[in-house]
Structures are given as C-alpha cells and as structure tokens.
Amino acid sequence: MKPSLILGYGATGKDIEKYLISESKKYVIYDDNKNIPNELNFQLEDITNLEMIYVSPGIRKDHKILNIAEESNIKVTTDIEYFNDISNVKIVGVTGTNGKTTFVSLLNKILNKYGYKSNVAGNIGISPLNLINDTEDLDFLILELSSFQLCHINELRIDTSIVLNIYEDHIDWHNSFEEYAESKLKIFNFTDNDQNNFLGSVDEELNINDALLENITVVEDINNYFLPNYFDEFVTMFVAICSRFEISEVDVIEFLSSEPSAEHRFELFYSKNGVNFINDSKSTNLESVNKASLKVNNCMLIMHGLAKGINPNKLVLSNEIKAILVPQNSEFDVSMFKRIVIKYESIEDLQQLIKENYRNFNTVLFSCGGSSFSDFKNYVDRGIYFKKMIEGEI
C-alpha cells in the first residue's frame, strides 16, 4: 500500500493524520516550517510513490509539491472533499469575510432548538473527518469554509451555500481582491439546488458576473433590528437562512435577543467609571473595524496586527471614533486620521496609554483590523491578553 502525503502539519493536518491512523493507512508528512520525525518525514524524490496528497488550507496553490503533483498526475484532495466522498450527510456551507464562526455556531444552535440534528466543522476548528462516525443521524453538517479552503476544493456537494459578505482580506495570500472574491464565490459551484444560494453584502468595487447572480438569492435590503450584540447585516442574513429551514423571523429575533455576543467578537467584557471596554480581537480586516465603529460613541479605538495587503483606503470610520491607538511600526496607513492618532511602541506600552486616557471616552474598543501573528498565536490569544490587561490593571 502506497503512503499518502499530508501537506501542511497544522490543525487540519493533524486531524487528517488521526483519521489515517484510525483507518490503518500509511502516510508521510511535509511541512515548510515544522520539524517532522524522520520516520514520517516526506522526501521530494518519493513523490511518484504516493497514493494521494491531502493539502492543508494554508498551503499556497503554487507550492512546489503541488506543482510536481499536477505534472505527475497525482491526486490532490482536502479533508473536506475526502469527507464528502465518504459521507452522505447534507452540508450547509458558510463562507464570507466577517462573521463566519459566529454565524455557523448560532445556526447550529437554532437548528438544534427547532428539531434538526446538526453539527459544525471546518474552519471553525475541527475537521469533518473527526465526525465521520457521528454523521449518519445528522440532518445537516454546517461547514465554515475559509477562502484558503475553498481555493483548494474542486469537488463538493452542498445543500445550502451561504456567502455572508465579501470585503478585502488576505490579499497577501490571494495576490488580489479579485482572486480572493473568486475563492469565496466558488462555493456556489457546488450547490445542488440554485434556490439554496445566498449572497450578502459585497464591497462596492467588486463586480460580480450577472450570469452568476441569476442563480443566487442576494440579501441586500438590510433591516433595522437594533440588537445590541449583532450587526443588522448579520441579523438580516440569519433571518433569511433560517426561513429556508422554516424558522420564522419572530422566532429568530427572539433567539438572537437571548444570545450573548461571541467571545472576541464585539464582546463587552468590562466597565469602569462609566466607560465600556469592548474586545473585538476577531476583527482582522478593516471592514470589520468600520462596522464596529458604527456601534460605539465617544470611542478610543485600538488597532493591532498585520494588514495583510488590504487597501488602507478601506478604513472608513464613524465620527464617534475620537482617538486611534496604533503600533509605532504599524502597517496601517492612518494618515487621514493623523489628528487623532496616538502611537504605542509595544503591546506592553499600550496598557499605560489606556490607563492614562480611558476616562476621556465612553468606549474603549479593541477592534484590531489586522491578523494577530505579529505578537500573538491567534486572535483568541490576543483577545485573552487584552481582557486580562484591562481587568487586572484598569
């Protein structure tokens, strides 16, 4: 039996490994940045001796191994495609720039509440292969799908496809906004029934082919729901999707009204001296900062992270942002707001600046606008750090 190659040994790669072990299948591993044990370490000269390649989401399409695999006619798949080949469970696919994890989690919860048997997997943090023995009794498996995952997927059967929104993000990986948007819209190629295609708000500069839109329900009329924990754009799409499962608008609003915001997503976690502190560490692009700025008043905004090639002109803040704290060597271009910009030298220096200035505002908003990898493992690590910094010292 030929071994398969796990290309990329992050969370997805390790889940693929667990599945292959459970099936007593041979495998080897290649990762550009990790040391792999010698007995499992893949050597490039052995590429023609592979059964197939399981590619992880973060691997670029032009990776040398993928190029050789294509030339050598070696099958390349993903954990999601392979799962779909061996399981008949109906899939609800959810992608978009902002709100995917929250949407997937809440959709799963409300479906279960109203009698459906469902579960979640994908970019939310668990490979569907981990659930392969538990899907027979499910009505639906809800998959959160990132642009990286969709970029690698070529075959998939989806019952309902949802693109929540499309704004600039991950341009450093996709090379252009058009390529990024294309990876998101690709999900509609996999839907069994065109009536179950849903598209939310998109950047005004994005031109989508009219022929594609003919087979999609575009949710563009945003209703005013005024729920404190969720943006109207999010709620409008959630109502539209729940109607597909025969859950009424009244029931949806009642449900969302009782649901707190997700941790690290516009999370009000602390108040002192009349000032609210909001952790929005999951904000990793400029559009999410823009949206957050619309829900605050007299606010000190704190940004952090790597800009990922996003056009700086996409930062369009509400007039309620009265001060902006950014790292000294930030990739963010905030020159248009220079009158209210305060620069901090390090994440440690940030605490003192907040302590000295927070009383001048009604809100302190940690809505980062960039990826966390400059200082932290991920947005969760970053959000926890910020909350501890505030709760312990302010």
The residues spanned by each domain of the chain are 4-77, 87-257, 267-393
What confidence score (pLDDT) does residue 330 get? 86
Structure tokens at 99: 């709100």
Average pLDDT over residues 48-52: 96
Q: Which of 93-97, 102-106, 138-142, 388-392 has the lowest mean pLDDT?
A: 388-392
* Residue 275 three-state SS: strand
> What is the C-alpha to C-alpha distance for residues 357 and 343, in angstroms, rounded to an integer?
13
Q: Which residue has the tokens 């839109």?
A: 213
Q: Is the CATH number 3.40.190.10 carried by domain 4-77?
A: no
CATH placement of domain 267-393: 3.90.190.20
Structure tokens at 247: 């859950």
Confidence of residue 54 (pLDDT cuts 50, 70, 90): very high
pLDDT digits (tens, 9 = 90+) for 62-84: 999 999 999 999 999 999 999 99
- Say if CB 369 and CB 283 are below 8 A apart: yes
Confidence of residue 147 (pLDDT cuts 50, 70, 90): very high
Number of Cα atoms under 13 Å in the Cβ half of residue 56: 21
Quote the distance between the C-alpha of residue 78 and its chain's center: 18
What confidence score (pLDDT) does residue 129 get? 98
pLDDT digits (tens, 9 = 90+) for 318-344: 999 999 999 998 889 999 999 999 999
> What is the C-alpha to C-alpha distance for residues 135 and 110, in angstroms, rounded to an integer?
18
- % pLDDT > 90, the chain: 92
Which neighbouring-strand residues pair with 163?
95, 199
What confidence score (pLDDT) does residue 370 get? 95
What confidence score (pLDDT) does residue 348 get? 83
Longest dimension (CA), the chain: 68
> What is the C-alpha to C-alpha distance for residues 392 and 174, in angstroms, rounded to an integer?
40
Question: At residue 211, does pLDDT exceed 90?
Answer: no
Confidence of residue 314 (pLDDT cuts 50, 70, 90): very high
Average pLDDT over residues 134-154: 96
> What is the C-alpha to C-alpha distance for residues 94 and 118, in angstroms, rounded to an integer?
14
> What is the C-alpha to C-alpha distance for residues 298 and 138, in angstroms, rounded to an integer?
47
What confidence score (pLDDT) does residue 210 get? 84
Global pTM exceeds 0.75: yes
pLDDT digits (tens, 9 = 90+) for 266-306: 999 999 999 999 999 999 999 999 999 999 999 999 999 99
One of 3.40.50.10490, 3.90.1150.10, 3.40.1190.10, 3.50.50.60 is the CATH number of 87-257, namely 3.40.1190.10
